[in-house]
Structure 1
């Protein structure tokens, strides 16, 4: 088992305006951003970074909004494109910085891709970059797992659902999906992420977990599966990755639910002992004290024969009375081992 910290890192790096309280609100935000965005193709030698009283602006040819402000990410990309240090350019006046970009801008036969929303340039990429919109990824998630919800609210009101200028991240769980695996309880969950501006890959990670803390650390995860793609080539195939990974998680959840339900039905129909005396003897063989066995007989009722489910249910209820977590764990383990008698 492993502890997953990806969602915890997101929790501590997101500002309040990047948090969303529901999957629907996150999806609506990403859809609205997509609708107001646009892509422009421009030769680098024709890309002008001009000095204005408001700071640096990007001048585009043949665009409805030819004068664009720069986001922190697009400014970072321009510095890399021109081979200049971002920290150095930040120390210059905007007038001097515009001359630096003009003098260092490379010439190429391949046009650059400028991604903009409203009047801001969000990203500048080469022609090899393939964009995948956050809304497309989230729609694929919705199709595959419509009944998953965000995790419990974390420290500082963190929601597990985030979208900022540079990327998106969503954390989903099935709060009703608990099943028993190897005598312990697990529930299914997933992370999904993307960046429309190339800040990170597009990816999905599915898992089964035992606990989520206030810091959104996922504790004791098993069957962890991760798929991710860079934004090159046919990145649209990543949508199939997301659908398939989450669909397989849902399928396994349903199979385990059915198996668990079948096991419970079988335990209800399987005799454990003909009478109280036999139940005492069989529990003693399993290491259960005479005092606990007496309580089991009382809680399991007077109907005979006593069933495996009745005995297990009684042990589980007795375990719930213990204040010490270690004592509860020992009793729960005994109950789980008895349940296997109905297999």
Structure 2
């Protein structure tokens, strides 16, 4: 394919005409955009990196013998349940995600246990931990005013930290705000077919996300469109490079990246005119962090 990076004919706003009938639509970024509350949306890679790095700096991982874990339930608070881990200075409190992981490790139905008073759920968990065949689990705890149990995995879980992914992206994309070629995308004007790469980054337009379970980043090189050929009317067929990547340091997702060419991103963050889509995923297995 004959490709040429060019300063395409642009309108007064700096946008350029695209033909989104070519290629495919990819909805993965739009799904993320729809599901993220404001506190999971970040306006720059620097802001996002500071959050996930700070979280990791206050966290620790350790191997624990399941038979030595003591479940502590409060009779005065039917919803409070904590775990006393060997060698820990204070009890750790599982969150919704890690409670489900813990239940899965011992073969207990998490949805049912969540409906029980803490004391009764604790009895069931204690029995499961005492008779757990695997003997060991790996915990991941974060201290932030209280000690929160963020993940419970098997002993061979190969953790790749969220900040490692974000910092790797920063090395090529800087802040992700236009200080390098890679930036948060612009938006397609459906009425004109013009894609405008210069759009203010707000909570509504950003594509940099992180929760207590994962990170997801989508960036494009839309200020440097590529001519992939010609349209029937002789106008250039323009697209640009893009990629998105994701990770979960607590076992909710794999590590992965997808790269592609695309012609536009609309307001609800659907990708239009996508071609040459390539994706790779890495499971958090024993040696994942060294790959």
Query: Given the two structures, how large is their TM-score scaled by the length of structure 1?
Result: 0.66
Aligned equivalents of 1:80, 1:155: Cα separation in 2: 39
Cα deviation, residue 91, structure 1: 1.3
Residue deviations 1:77-101 (CA, integer Å, cap 9, x gap):
1111222212211111011110111
Instruction: Give the one of 139, 146, 158 matched to 1:114.
Output: 139
Q: Which residue of 2 aligns with 1:31?
A: 53
Compare CA radii of gyration and give the structure with the larger one. 1
Matched, 1:150 2:184: yes
Matched, 1:189 2:242: yes
Matched, 1:59 2:84: yes
Aligned length: 237
Q: What is the alpha-carbon root mean square deviation over aligned residues?
A: 1.9
Instruction: Give the one of 26, 38, 42 matched to 1:4.
Output: 26
Instruction: Give the one of 209, 212, 223 matched to 1:162.
Output: 209
1:182 partner SS: strand
2:42 partner SS: coil
Q: Which runs of 4+ in 1 moved over 6 A?
A: 153-156
Matched, 1:211 2:264: yes
Cα deviation, residue 159, structure 1: 1.5
Cα deviation, residue 19, structure 1: 0.7
Q: Which residue of 1 aligns with 2:165?
A: 137
Contact conserved, 2:43 with 2:201, CA < 8 A, in 1?
Answer: no
Cα deviation, residue 109, structure 1: 6.0
> Judging changes above 3 Å, is the alpha-carbon distance between structure 1 residues 123 and 158 closer, same or farther for their aligned structure 2 residues?
farther
1:157 partner SS: coil
Contact conserved, 2:218 with 2:245, CA < 8 A, in 1?
Answer: yes
1:186 partner SS: strand
Unaligned runs of 5+ in 1: 239-343
Q: Which residue of 1 aligns with 2:9?
A: none
Unaligned runs of 5+ in 2: 1-22, 175-179, 187-199, 231-236
Residue deviations 1:10-47 (CA, integer Å, cap 9, x gap):
11111111110111111111111111111122101112
Cα deviation, residue 186, structure 1: 0.6
Cα deviation, residue 108, structure 1: 4.1
> Judging changes above 3 Å, is the alpha-carbon distance between structure 1 residues 231 and 90 closer, same or farther for their aligned structure 2 residues?
same
Aligned equivalents of 1:159, 1:12: Cα separation in 2: 12
Aligned equivalents of 1:125, 1:96: Cα separation in 2: 23
Aligned equivalents of 1:48, 1:12: Cα separation in 2: 40
Matched, 1:20 2:20: no
Matched, 1:72 2:96: yes
Instruction: Give the one of 81, 87, 90 matched to 2:105.
Output: 81
Cα deviation, residue 74, structure 1: 0.5
Return the structure number with greater relative CO, CA threshold 8 A, min gap 6: 2
Contact conserved, 1:40 with 1:63, CA < 8 A, in 2?
Answer: no
Contact conserved, 1:154 with 1:216, CA < 8 A, in 2?
Answer: no
Mean Cα deviation higher: 122-131 or 47-56: 47-56
Aligned equivalents of 1:182, 1:191: Cα separation in 2: 25
